[in-house]
Amino acid sequence: MGEKSGREGSGICGTEVSPGLRHADPSSRKVVVFDFDGTIADTLPSIVAVARHVLSAWGLPQERLADCPKLVGPPFPQAFSMVFGLSEADAREVTRRYREEYGALGPEAWPAFPGMGALLGELRASGRLLAVASSKRSALLHRALSDEGLLGCFDVVRGKQSDAQQSKAATLAAVLDELGVAADDAVMVGDRHFDVDAALACGVPCVGVTYGGTAPFGELEEAGACTVAGSVEELGRVLLGR
């Protein structure tokens, strides 16, 4: 987290980061942009299980595999270099094997958190625009949302188009551009500091969530989340101001 201020200062959306973003009222924002893994869907168990299997076969010792939960958040294949120190070439090959196995899974690998569908319905009924900005591959992201019956809840869904390095801030900026809205109208919801960093770089406040069990204790607060919700129900109270 020592690089946080550097990431915030990137200003990819052309907006200066304001300390006021830490104290923003999420319920006043008409656009809600969600992360996917660990935010909409409980994907931690399946991601960890597949990664452990692939990395074990790759030859990583069992004690190293304890870091697999850290793969939830950063984009692949870069995540394998970031978490396990793999070379760029090795990370690409491990990612290929991971995707081959993960892509063969079904809806059981990405179940929506209980209450998420109802919350999205309430947000739409309140007049909010909803979007997804994720580091997951776009095709798989659409498939997962469709499997859960949630795809129609969103006005824009944007994931990775390729493995070329693209920041989460760039993805969020593209979502806002496609919706035709300003940063002042939006709030991000995410489970890792990557989401908070991206939001702040775009001049957007971020609500952190911990119900997915992905972020280390205190990570979201330290990164600058305006508030942190420990359950989907609490997230609803934050976003709807009830």
- pLDDT for residue 162: 82
- pLDDT for residue 160: 85
Residues of the chain with confidence (pLDDT) below 50: 1-11, 14-16
Q: In what side-by-side order are the strands of the sheet with 186-190?
A: 156-160, 129-137, 31-34, 186-190, 206-209, 227-229
Residue type (1 letter), 155: D
The full DSSP string for 6-75 is HHHTT-TTS----GGGGG--GGG-SEEEE-SBTTTB--HHHHHHHHHHHHHHHT--GGGGGGGGGGSSSP
- pTM, full prediction: 0.90
- In sequence order, the 6+-apart residues with CB closer than 8 A to the CB of 109 are 43, 46, 102, 144
In angstroms, how far is the first alpha carbon of the chain from the final one? 32
Token reading at 42? 């409980």
- pLDDT for residue 184: 95
- pLDDT for residue 165: 62
- pLDDT for residue 12: 52
- pLDDT for residue 13: 57
